Structure 1
Amino acid sequence: MKEVLRTNDLVLLSYATHILAEAGIEATVFDAHMSAVEGSIGAFPRRLMVAEEDAGRALRELGNVAITTQR
């Protein structure tokens, strides 16, 4: 799996997941539970992951709607 987005913004994460789903790319959110446990200090951002073979296309789809990978 490859990371295509890292963020604490739940709205952005939801939107990015939707954009990828519309393009037929399955995405999985990593670290969602860790982020909930640590509270709202932002120490553990959620990561949006896709299959390695979909990573390039996923980044292009996100770039088309001005979402860039945040590291």
Structure 2
Amino acid sequence: MRELVRTNDIVLVSAIGALLDGAEINHVVLDQNMSVIEGSLGVLARRILVSDADNREARQVLTDAGLGHELRPDD
């Protein structure tokens, strides 16, 4: 799995999820439920991951949507 984006912005997480769903790219959002533990302060960032096989396509989808600046460095 590769991390695409790490953000506290739940609207951005939702938008990226919709873009990836539209491109039929499976993804996982980690740390989504941590807000219950932290008291809904939004301190802990959510991470969006895709499979290694889908990494390049997912990055292109986000770049084409104008969200390339949100991408984590690709190791």
Q: TM-score range by the shorter chain?
A: 0.7 to 0.9
Which runs of 5 or more residues in structure 2 are unaligned?
none
Q: Distance in 1 between matches of 2:11 and 2:42?
A: 17
Instruction: Please give the TM-score of this superposition, normalised by the length of structure 2.
Output: 0.82
Letter of the 1:48 partner, please give it: I
Residue 15 of structure 2 corresponds to residue 12 of structure 1: no
- Measured in 2, the distance between the counterparts of 1:18 and 1:34 equals 21
Residue 61, structure 1, aligned to residue 56, structure 2: no
1:52 aligned partner: 52
How much identity, in percent, do the aligned residues show?
Answer: 33
* Structure 1 unpaired stretches of 5+: none
With structure 1 as the length reference, what TM-score do the two structures score? 0.86
